């Protein structure tokens, strides 16, 4: 009775969160969301890159191409190479915590808003390869933290603001290939180590360009050097002159390489790839067989992270199909994460730990890339995509997954998760187990991927408390209500994935409301079981080509995995044994006997609430046989 009461309270709390708190969050005024929505309305988006920028959800932290910090403030907007046109808006100046703004390689026109000078936390501003017009705003000189300013290959006019020389942190400045005019600020006003390019602005003038500005005196060579008369005696004059000449020649020999290097740094066309240098103060973690890719390699492999190569999108980044120089196909996951001090070393350490999880049913990490602005993971390309895509997004000519393949996927993915939980030290919990993260190789062997949420756990830990992250419909109730995740959180997600595999349905689907069905897959399944409609559970794409007792066994495993209490759920190693026919009957009988004891005190389901439907009543109504 006490346990049932706790489950009812948890379900009611979840319902309250969805029905009350969520609408309040949606209607909460958010200046940053409004600012970005203003940008969306001012841009032409032929490829629907901004389709997730929902105006009713003014908090933009769930939108694609937007990254927020822990305070839900926007710190990054990535819209490079997105085929956008239109104009920027002054409201961008309201993104006070923005650190990275990338709008390069588009067709955006109009002026650069002077309000960008309000973004005092900005580190990188990339607006190159667009069609901007007008002057470079003087206000950009207010960006005291700016390191990278790239406005090349646009149509900017006017003079170069002297205020740019106030930015002491600047590490790269590229204003080449514009229509700028007037005097170029003295190179000496910038940091010695700032790569600068003003090339192909034919109206610029000044000593740097070799063209005198109107009204200024013509350039003249400096007066020849006249050495001071020697102080030595007349008898030593010849010897002193020779010694002086030798010293001067030696000085020129040693100084020439430094002068040439400085000139080369100034004049060399700059590239736009910045990898973290390895220094003695920040040693690189050695990652065994993992390759550390350069950003250039992955840029070339994915055709500049082109939209046509996107394999999938998620809250933690996007995946791109790529072809390396050796011809091998890879999947490049471009992580979307807040960068924190010391995060590089932590990132490499976590990559190293995850890379040590080697199993035939786990996605093998091939390499990684880390720069000041990017974190990327490189995996082998999975020819048959994900289970979700095979179930719901396959082309009409592609055959559906047959029942034998689905059984193999259930067992393979269970083996992979069991290895993470029981054979890694420290153990790894996935925290986002779902059909979209179960990938299929050339032989349709299941490979568990999607480690964007994975966390390492010490064996003495029973849970990790974090902000709740995951996919709706797959999140275990205790994780949703307390923020505590464990290996039993993965077991719950695996159970939902099994139901996806059996039914072909999504874990959360508003379309089911059209038939007055539950939006949550688990509740929808329980409802059909209560009505003794087993045949309606099975994916119609199978066309009844399945073994009914095996379907019942998988449903039993799924329901054991999705019990409300994490203590009652089996371990993944037990799931593997049950899928092989070892112990499922005993587990199922034991569970049913416990539920019979609660039968007299069970509450009847409320007609308008799916949160208090009792799973026991549903299962007794069907009396799944299973292996007896």
> 377: exposed, middle or buried (C-beta count within 10 Å: 0-12, 13-18, 19+)?
buried
Which residue of the set 78, 126, 174, 432 is catalytic? 432
Tokens of 422: 């029981």
- Cα separation of 361 and 441, whole Å? 10
Sign of CA dihedral 42, 44, 50, 52: positive
- Cα separation of 263 and 254, whole Å? 15
Tokens of 248: 């001067």
80, 86, 87, 92 alpha-carbon torsion, rounded to 10°: -50
Q: What residue has token string 């000449």?
A: 245
Active site residue 422: no
CA 567 to each of CA 170, 489, 562: distance values in angstroms, whole numbers, following the listed order:
55, 11, 11
Tokens of 465: 């408390």
CA 103 to each of CA 85, 164, 563: distance values in angstroms, whole numbers, following the listed order:
10, 20, 47
> CB 272: neighbour CB atoms within 10 A?
16
Contacts of 322 (CB under 8 A, 6+ apart): 298, 301, 302, 309, 329, 330, 331, 332, 381
> CB 598: neighbour CB atoms within 10 A?
13
Smallest CA-to-CA distance from 605 within 615, 596, 591, 593 is with 615
| Helix/strand/coil (H/E/C) assignment for every residue in 212-256 | CCCCCCCCCCCCCCCCCCCCCCHHHHHHHHHHHHHHHHHHHHHHH
- Cα separation of 428 and 464, whole Å? 11
- Cα separation of 616 and 601, whole Å? 12
- Cα separation of 568 and 528, whole Å? 23
Q: How much is the CA Rg of the chain, to the nearest whole Å?
A: 32
- Cα separation of 453 and 427, whole Å? 14
Instruction: Answer yes or no: are the C-beta atoms of 105 and 85 closer than 8 Å.
Output: no
> 38: exposed, middle or buried (C-beta count within 10 Å: 0-12, 13-18, 19+)?
middle
- Cα separation of 112 and 114, whole Å? 6
Smallest CA-to-CA distance from 625 within 594, 598, 589, 582 is with 589
- Cα separation of 521 and 503, whole Å? 9
CA 248 to each of CA 99, 221, 222: distance values in angstroms, whole numbers, following the listed order:
49, 20, 18
Please state the length of the chain: 628
Contacts of 26 (CB under 8 A, 6+ apart): 56, 57, 58, 59
Catalytic residues: 432
């Amino acid at each position: 009775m006490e346990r049932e009461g706790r489950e009812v309270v948890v379900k009611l709390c979840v319902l309250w969160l969805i029905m009350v708190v969520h609408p309040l969050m949606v209607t909460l005024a958010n200046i940053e969301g409004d600012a970005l929505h203003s940008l969306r309305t001012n841009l032409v988006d032929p490829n629907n890159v901004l389709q997730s920028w929902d105006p009713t959800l003014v908090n933009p932290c769930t939108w694609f191409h937007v990254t927020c910090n822990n305070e839900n403030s926007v710190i990054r907007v990535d819209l490079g190479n997105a085929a956008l046109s239109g104009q920027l808006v002054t409201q961008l100046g309201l993104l006070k915590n923005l650190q990275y703004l990338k709008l390069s390689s588009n067709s955006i026109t109009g002026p650069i808003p002077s309000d960008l000078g309000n973004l005092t936390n900005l580190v990188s501003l990339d607006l190159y390869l667009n069609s901007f017009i007008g002057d470079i705003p003087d206000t950009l000189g207010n960006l005291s933290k700016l390191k990278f300013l790239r406005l090349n290959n646009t149509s900017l006019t006017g003079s170069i603001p002297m205020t740019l020389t106030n930015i002491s942190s600047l590490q790269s400045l590229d204003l080449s290939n514009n229509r700028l005019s007037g005097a170029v600020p003295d190179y000496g006003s910038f940091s010695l180590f700032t790569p600068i390019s003003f090339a192909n602005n034919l109206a610029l003038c000044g000593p740097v360009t070799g063209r005198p500005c109107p009204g200024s005196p013509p350039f003249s060579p400096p007066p020849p050097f006249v050495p001071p008369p020697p102080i030595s005696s007349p008898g030593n004059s010849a010897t002193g002159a020779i010694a002086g000449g030798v010293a001067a020649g030696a000085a020129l020999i040693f100084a020439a390489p430094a002068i040439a290097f400085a000139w080369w740094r100034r004049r060399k066309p700059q590239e736009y790839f910045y990898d973290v240098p390895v220094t003695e103060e920040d040693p690189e973690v050695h990652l065994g067989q993992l390759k550390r890719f350069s950003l250039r390699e992955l840029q070339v492999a994915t055709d500049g992270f082109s939209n046509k190569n996107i394999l999938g999108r998620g809250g933690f980044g996007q995946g791109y199909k790529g072809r390396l120089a050796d011809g091998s196909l890879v999947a490049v996951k471009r992580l979307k994460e807040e960068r924190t001090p010391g995060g590089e070393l932590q990132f490499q350490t976590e990559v190293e730990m995850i890379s040590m999880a080697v199993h035939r049913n786990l996605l093998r990490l091939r390499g990684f890339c880390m720069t000041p602005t990017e974190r990327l993971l490189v995996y082998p390309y999975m020819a048959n995509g994900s289970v979700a895509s095979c179930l719901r997004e396959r082309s009409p000519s592609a055959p559906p997954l047959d029942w034998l393949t689905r059984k193999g996927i259930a067992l393979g993915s269970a083996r992979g998760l069991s290895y993470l939980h029981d054979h890694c030290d420290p153990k790894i919990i996935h925290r986002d187990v779902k059909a979209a993260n179960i990938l299929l190789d050339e032989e349709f062997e299941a490979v568990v991927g999607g480690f964007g949420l994975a966390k390492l756990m010490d064996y003495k830990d029973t849970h990790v408390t974090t902000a709740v992250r995951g996919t709706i419909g797959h999140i275990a109730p205790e994780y949703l209500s307390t923020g505590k995740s464990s290996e039993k959180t993965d077991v719950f997600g695996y159970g939902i994935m099994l139901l996806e595999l059996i039914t072909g349905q999504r874990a959360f689907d508003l379309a089911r409301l059209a038939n007055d069905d539950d939006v949550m897959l688990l509740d929808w399944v329980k409802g059909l079981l209560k009505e003794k409609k087993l045949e309606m559970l099975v994916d119609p794409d199978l066309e009844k080509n399945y073994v009914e007792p095996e379907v019942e066994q998988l449903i039993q495993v799924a329901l054991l995995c999705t019990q409300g209490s994490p203590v009652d759920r089996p371990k993944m190693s037990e799931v593997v044994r049950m899928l092989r026919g070892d112990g499922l009957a005993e587990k199922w009988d034991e569970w049913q006997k416990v539920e019979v004891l609660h039968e007299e005190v069970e509450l009847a389901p409320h007609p308008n609430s799916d949160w208090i439907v009792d799973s026991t009543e549903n299962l007794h109504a069907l009396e799944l046989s299973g292996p007896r």
